[in-house]
Chains A and B, each alone.
Chain A
């Protein structure tokens, strides 16, 4: 008897099954999903799921959409369209249609944050148009849109065009009153193929504008981000017009140091932000071929600095017009001048503040020729 009890207990534990098992044959795995807001204020959820097919190398995908007043209702409508239960735990890409992004994105994302099984590590992007269109696209070189978009974004991350973010990492920024997020912005080119067209600017959880690819890189550099393969191309010679191609230089950004300092003038209620960026660059393409002399390099540095500073000024203008505090200037005001923060509404103040760029460029290398 004394031995029987522990033995039977052990058998009970070891031989019983699981309540929480999820068999692959019972679920449809959603690899990419799109959320849209239709004209009549109804959410549409679209998912794409790989369909394994026996003895055939070519992969198929299943794309279905469902609509509802909440995302969950839309998901339920989806469930009615596929034979198995839809599982989003392996979601890789979440696409937000622009009409939805322009409204507010937190309510539809709520279910992602609340569900313990959801995939918070999914990449998130805004699509210029109805998001389901991106999911429906048939691509020639990739079997699945989820893979294509994920790789597109990963490359863009290493090129410092978009920030390395996912569904969870944007959340602290989205909720922080002192900083606004920017999300990858995907559009279509002439041949109806998806391509990255920059970043969508947000104010809180509402999309308010967009930034081009070139400007995105400079903005991210000023935020202190740097991918492994970051390039910038600038026009450095204006005067010679016979061959325009000679006028450009392409730089590879080796190393950067970025800082943002904020001063508050309490008497006049003026906020000035000083955004500093020092870049160590390598000239990787420069047909002009005059990098032998020190003066030329110094001249080039200065000329690049002027260009970048002017460009940064334009970026800040765009940001302020969209009321998107991507640099987190408000957070710095809150940190260093809490009294000022408490008595002012940052959202109203931000478009009026002065942001001064200060960019230093140092060409440290120029490949194996001069």
Chain B
């Protein structure tokens, strides 16, 4: 495999961060506030710590088989059949998450931006761009991610508008809700931060001198996302008083709607339109991962071709849920699915691989698996 095809550490950093940051940021303060009230910002930071622990686990698992993509390593650990079953579950999981992202963002665009545009048009435009990039090789995808990361500055920029109208008293008394609700808020926060696990699926495609550097990059990415989310949540929580935050499902957008500049009258609409890019990157990652795991299952089928099929499936299934209640139920289901796929299964696999001991890696298989990127 050509060294140039591998992705560097900065690229890995943005790959993780762009996958994590997406549609979640728009409603994060609302969802943590629902659980933990004005202590929700602590949930976000605690969520970051929780995710760090999971990253350690995922790193421990994937770094045991640095030459194989995880789907192949699973077969080595759990046997061919079980491994394939787990890979199938992951494919379904990636498609499900992609559907959720698509449905949620379509809904937000419909309510905020284009009430008269048919939903399927918005979906189609989003999924086409996701398909178009995710059919390329990984190093091309990450180049795009690095490029569009400049958009994070946009968020920082729009948050500055609110600084003059914050009331810090709204987040006091700190810790009023007690540890139980705050921990429940952690769950809600981690849901918005999903995507930190991507590094374990692409481990062989990362260029590194020492394996530990991958852990370092994943940690930095987690730090960045946690700080980014944490600050956004803190600012929106100081902007809205607690009783009002209960009524506002997309606090960040709602806050922006309040301000107008001489040039741009409605900041929220401009922000929403630009943020489509960051949401699409999350979508792209999941389409990519779904095709990656799918290609591993279906030997002989090109990954490039699979992206079309997965994108199509995602598009059609995402047309189903339109009711807000159905969507939140769906989101809840994806939460539990995520816990299983990101924590439970990696943990079991890791324990199993510890019991079995490290198998010697075979060069032939390595070649075969890395080829499909």
Contact = CB atoms under 8 A, between A and B. Distances in A.
A19 B260 CA distance: 25
A9 B131 CA distance: 14
Interface string A134-153: 00000000000000000000
A331 B259 CA distance: 25
A250 interface: no
B173 interface: yes
B244 A116 contact: no
B244 A171 contact: yes
Interface residues of B, number: 32
B40 to A, nearest CB: 16
B117 A19 contact: yes
Interface string A161-180: 00000101101110111010
A121 interface: yes
A13 interface: yes
Interface in A17-64: 18-20
B52 interface: no
Interface in A164-212: 166, 168-169, 171-173, 175-177, 179
A336 interface: yes
Interface stretch (B24-32, B98-106, B164-172, B290-298): B164-172
Nearest to A118: B257
B359 interface: no
A172 B257 contact: no
7 contacts: A20-B115, A121-B257, A121-B259, A171-B244, A176-B170, A176-B243, A332-B169
Given A13-B125, A20-B116, A120-B257, A335 B240 contact: no
B258 interface: yes
B115 A116 contact: yes
A236 B53 CA distance: 68
A338 B170 contact: no
A172 B118 contact: no
Given A89-B266, A335-B172, 15 more contacts: A18-B117, A19-B114, A19-B116, A19-B121, A20-B114, A90-B265, A116-B111, A116-B257, A172-B170, A176-B241, A176-B244, A177-B243, A335-B173, A336-B172, A336-B173
Contact of A335 (B118, B169, B247): B169
B176 interface: yes
Nearest to A339: B173
A336 B240 CA distance: 19
B171 to A, nearest CB: 9
B156 to A, nearest CB: 21
Contacts of A336: 172-173
A334 B173 contact: yes
B239 interface: yes
A176 B33 CA distance: 15
Given A20-B114, A20-B115, A338 B241 contact: no
A113 B128 CA distance: 34
A42 to B, nearest CB: 26
Contact of B244 (A89, A175, A332): A175
Q: Which 3 A-B pairs have the closest CB atoms?
A: A172-B241, A176-B241, A335-B172
Interface in A330-347: 331-332, 334-336, 338
A121 B258 CA distance: 5
Nearest to A121: B260
Interface in A100-121: 113, 116, 120-121
B336 interface: no
B112 interface: yes
A328 interface: yes
A20 B111 CA distance: 12
Given A171-B244, A172-B239, A20 B117 contact: yes
Interface string A81-103: 00000000110000000000000
Contacts of B239: 172
A331 B169 contact: yes
Interface string B164-186: 01010110110010000000000
Interface in B237-272: 239-244, 247, 254, 257-260, 265-266
- Scoring A13, A116, A173, A175 by chain B CB atoms within 10 A of each residue's CB, the highest score goes to A116
A177 B265 CA distance: 32
Contacts of A121: 257-260
